[in-house]
Amino acid sequence: MAKAPPRAWQRMLSGRRLDLLDPTPVDIEIEDIAHGLAFVARWNGQTKGDFAYSVAEHSLLVEALFSRMNPGAPAKWQLAALLHDAPEYVIGDMISPVKAAVGPDYGALDDRLAAAVHIRFGLPAAIPAAVKKQIKKADKVSAWLEATRIAGFTVVEANRFFGVPAPELIDGMQITLRPPVEVRNDFTARHAELLAAL
Total count of residues recorded for the chain: 198
Residue 34 lies in a domain: yes
Residue 8 lies in a domain: no
Question: What's the number of domains the chain is made of?
Answer: 1
Residue 12 lies in a domain: no
pLDDT per residue rounded down to tens, the chain (198 residues): 778 778 889 999 999 999 988 999 999 999 999 999 999 999 999 999 999 999 999 999 999 999 999 999 999 999 999 999 999 999 988 777 777 777 778 888 899 999 999 999 999 999 999 999 999 999 999 999 999 999 999 999 999 999 999 999 999 999 989 999 999 999 999 999 999 999
Q: What are phi and psi of 11, to 5 degrees?
A: -85, 130
Range of the domain at 91: 27-197
pTM, 2 dp: 0.94
CATH number of the CATH domain containing 50: 1.10.3210.10
Residue 19 lies in a domain: no
Q: How far apart are CA 67 and CA 175, in angstroms?
A: 17
> Measuring CA to CA, how many Å separate 96 from each of 4, 107, 177, 195?
33, 12, 22, 30
Residue 106 lies in a domain: yes
Reduced to 3 states (helix: H, G, I; strand: E, B; else coil), residue 9 is strand
